[in-house]
Structure 1
């Protein structure tokens, strides 16, 4: 069965570094210090998939675009781009992970409208093969098309919903949406939608139409007061086309200047590397020259001393009478030619040593000459390299000035485009309200036989078995006989309703229900979004203590349930994203995609990069 996969969540802006999380294809764990943006990631994913609003933290100042990367059921990439406080979502059929200024492949509205084909919900449901599915919407048997939000709340669980008392299968907990929410659960576990029956509002609903119409009229007045121009929808769309054309025209020169800047920087780096090589070789040559010149001086000094020895020996040997200065023999032991022979031997030895030293000096001098020549060449090339670097620095500075001017023009156009898009969103919203008002004015109701909405007992038993297996795998105590009560839309375990348990057990049961539903659907080739996002699924749970009273607040959960939970999630058949405060087990750190938010002073403080001061 076809499914979606999350690839990344990125916040981008003109003068801020991207804030990004890349999701793994299987298990991704984001953990660490509180107040570092972990839950904000979950809310951002929900907002990008059609959420109504998103409260931006102070750290998000300067970020003007939110990008959510998806892999579609056919494996093709899709990037959703949405601005904070905007109902428009730009679709790009490629994997984009930085600020986007190009024209989107399509633009849809985040607000689901069954009568409009231009919404994100319709676009994604069509890709999932669910655009024709109908679900029952009221007790009269009326139906409506399935919406993306119907499926999302069963896959993505925020921290408040995780511990809340509203049953997991219900999105709002209000009576007006209960029938539809139960029908969605039935569709997921059976694969069967409701028959197409178009009924108007029943008698009770007609009684409130008058008040709804008055409310819609007031909303239209309020939205109209927010319009900044007198341009109509066509004029705004024409201006938007012109702005997009101007952006395309400006983007070309900006790309060219950026390319020239990159080439200049690369060339400057090459010159700097060459200069470093020259400096290194100059150091080596200078060191060798110093050593060899000292050796040359030593050789010449040795030759001078040998010449002196030779000369002094001759003089001493011929003119001095007495003890032999060469061998120490007394006169009575000396032969008549003794001094001459000793002098001759000394001369031969000195000449041999002088010849050897002269040969070494003769070999050394050409080497010194070659090194001196190389040193001169290197010094000249070093001057040229320094000059080249100076020229490239000047070119880079000029290009950076041009880039700043072009970026300023592009940013002005982007700001103007955003203003026009906001105007168009207001016009679209006013048109939607007018459409709703028209339908309310002409609505009628036809009471029909109530269609069945119950899940067959055999299918419900199979789902309950998967739910119980999940809780057993996590070794959660006191939750035996877990089941989904379709009549009350409630989860029961251990003989008690989920709403009557402590918030720690409520979070565990909600997590188990969400993952069990995904396992059930994926394992039986039924429709499901293919991923689950769980915010704080087990952080507040602890094992029960003897004589514990209900007034004792929840504390950190024991490591046994944590370890078993993560071990089970490593084998989850779809994609899972888990948000927790505590550190996951070592095995998870080695096998899953993990992010550790450490708070101020750590390697990664939080989702948003720490500003540099």
Structure 2
């Protein structure tokens, strides 16, 4: 089963009485006399497709309070229930005759959806409900709805004979939308890419608001200017001069800092050298003090040793080891004298050693004293150098601080100037915007030609239309062109609207069928359902029909077998979708076995014949 909509059965439900029609075959004809409810059937289907209301038909409709329509939607079975009258729909899974025991699917409604209940379009067009369709030449858009598609699906008896286009035969307020629905079906492309054009009143209102806003912004920007009396060019010149001055000052400061850095580095080196030499001086002074103390010890030792040597000499003088009384030598005395001699010799030897050390210490002391003199001289020189460097740092620092302060002031001035330049640049841009707003012309709506369907799609549609005319053996050469002004076909250079009612009806019907075939051929979306009320009105009885006497072109068509070929064509193309035809004429006998027919016999119905819809 093709993607789209197929009606399986429609039921009129009442408390004590039900009535229904089943559509068993792809082509179904509801045939019968006038005033038997054939048009009510079309209106009831439209009601179940979301029409706001369905007029009561007295007294027959008094027995019914609800309508149900069994359908296949994209091959899935559903049954739609709607009270008569009501704005609400109840949808159940499957093909059911009653809600009792049925599996509920969802509620839907006519008009604006609520938080929890969607519009009926969301049920029928779930995959296409967000399709953007143009509403007018301003590029304003609305969504594709089942109500807009119903103009494609369904043609009432009143609309099928009208002179205006089959595709804009709906409400006058929606004629533009109907054109663009036709374009969408013909091309498969929606209108989401088309930009909306602002209307004149809204454009002027928006511009007025923009001008007021921009003027307010410009005024506030001017209040923030530091130099309000200076021009952009003057400030630019000042900024450039400041840039040059700042660059020069930065270069001088960098040079001064580099020199000062060298002085500070020299000061560090001198200070370190002074510290090292001072430490050396102090070390020498300590050593000299220690050496002088050692020299005194050496001298004291020499004096002691000399005294000791002199004492030994005195003891030995006049003694030769002999006793003064006996003249004999005593061993002990000899030994003592010998020891005294040894002591004297030892003292002399020690004195010589100490004197040698003393002489060496004297030499060392002289060297240290000479070094001390030299180091003291160096300390004086380093202190003088250090003072000079301190004075240089002290002298240069104020100049560097002054230059740094000057640099800060210049940078601040430049920053203020650049801030003003930025503000003035914004003021210029906004002022330019104000001028552009005032110079911008009121936008014009699109030209109709800009929004026409693509020529290739129109050519394909016209060719299919011609093929159908040839297939149903419509009189003439059947050359088909498209009139964009009327959004309708021209047959053999004669606009469709200039034909009689019956010819207009058959050509209206071919229009709807050609659109379905075009969509099927090119794999484009179409609901797959065409309902035509009185497409063969040409074959009416001019004495009994309310449409009156046949015009010349109708009479000529009535003499042909177009009615048979038309119905036969629908049967041969039943694979394209579902066709429901409402007619007063008799169905040709050869087609009664291949096309399902419901006949309403009206007041003359016998007991086994159906009187009417209800």
> What SS class does the counterpart of residue 154 from structure 1 fall into?
helix
> What SS class does the counterpart of residue 540 from structure 1 fall into?
helix
Shift of 1:49: 0.2
In the TM superposition, 1:359-438 aligns within 5 A as: none
In the TM superposition, 1:241-252 aligns within 5 A as: none
Alignment-derived partner of residue 475 in structure 1: 473
Q: Distance in 1 between matches of 2:186 and 2:114?
A: 23
Alignment-derived partner of residue 37 in structure 1: 37
Q: Distance in 2 between matches of 1:505 and 1:590?
A: 27
Is 1:491 matched with 2:492?
Answer: no
Q: Distance in 2 between matches of 1:114 and 1:152?
A: 23
Alignment-derived partner of residue 537 in structure 1: 535
Q: Distance in 1 between matches of 2:140 and 2:464?
A: 32
Shift of 1:490: 2.0
CA separation of 1:501 and 1:9: change in aligned 2, threshold 3 A = same
What's the TM-score, normalizing by structure 1?
0.54
Root-mean-square deviation (CA, aligned residues, Å) is 3.2
> What SS class does the counterpart of residue 590 from structure 1 fall into?
coil
Q: Distance in 1 between matches of 2:112 and 2:197?
A: 20
Shift of 1:608: 3.7
Q: Distance in 2 between matches of 1:193 and 1:583?
A: 42
Larger Rg computed on CA atoms: 2
Q: Distance in 1 between matches of 2:201 and 2:508?
A: 34
Alignment-derived partner of residue 185 in structure 2: 188
Shift of 1:87: 0.8
CA separation of 1:50 and 1:460: change in aligned 2, threshold 3 A = same
Question: Are 1:60 and 1:608, in contact at CA under 8 Å, matched by a contact in 2?
Answer: no
Alignment-derived partner of residue 586 in structure 1: 589
Alignment-derived partner of residue 465 in structure 1: 463
Alignment-derived partner of residue 2 in structure 1: 3
In the TM superposition, 1:178-577 aligns within 5 A as: 178-195=175-192, 199=196, 202-203=199-200, 450=446, 452-478=450-476, 480-541=478-539, 557-558=558-559, 560-572=561-573, 573-577=576-580
> What SS class does the counterpart of residue 497 from structure 2 fall into?
helix
Segments of 5+ residues of structure 1 without an aligned counterpart are 208-445, 544-548
Question: Are 2:93 and 2:102, in contact at CA under 8 Å, matched by a contact in 1?
Answer: no
Alignment-derived partner of residue 121 in structure 1: 121
Q: Distance in 1 between matches of 2:611 and 2:197?
A: 50
Question: Are 1:163 and 1:503, in contact at CA under 8 Å, matched by a contact in 2?
Answer: yes
Shift of 1:478: 3.8
Shift of 1:47: 0.9
Q: Per-residue CA shift, 1:519-572, capped at 9, x if unaligned?
A: 1111221110011111110122589xxxxx986796793461111111101012
CA separation of 1:542 and 1:95: change in aligned 2, threshold 3 A = closer
Alignment-derived partner of residue 50 in structure 1: 50
Is 1:110 matched with 2:110?
Answer: yes
> What SS class does the counterpart of residue 53 from structure 1 fall into?
coil
CA separation of 1:115 and 1:155: change in aligned 2, threshold 3 A = farther
Q: Distance in 2 between matches of 1:489 and 1:554?
A: 23
Alignment-derived partner of residue 611 in structure 2: 606
What's the TM-score, normalizing by structure 2?
0.54
Question: Are 2:92 and 2:99, in contact at CA under 8 Å, matched by a contact in 1?
Answer: no
Q: Distance in 2 between matches of 1:114 and 1:201?
A: 30
Q: Per-residue CA shift, 1:147-189, capped at 9, x if unaligned?
A: 1122111121110001012211114363x43332221111111
Shift of 1:450: 4.0
Q: Distance in 1 between matches of 2:118 and 2:571?
A: 37
Question: Are 1:69 and 1:96, in contact at CA under 8 Å, matched by a contact in 2?
Answer: yes
Q: Per-residue CA shift, 1:387-430, capped at 9, x if unaligned?
A: xxxxxxxxxxxxxxxxxxxxxxxxxxxxxxxxxxxxxxxxxxxx
Question: Are 1:36 and 1:607, in contact at CA under 8 Å, matched by a contact in 2?
Answer: yes
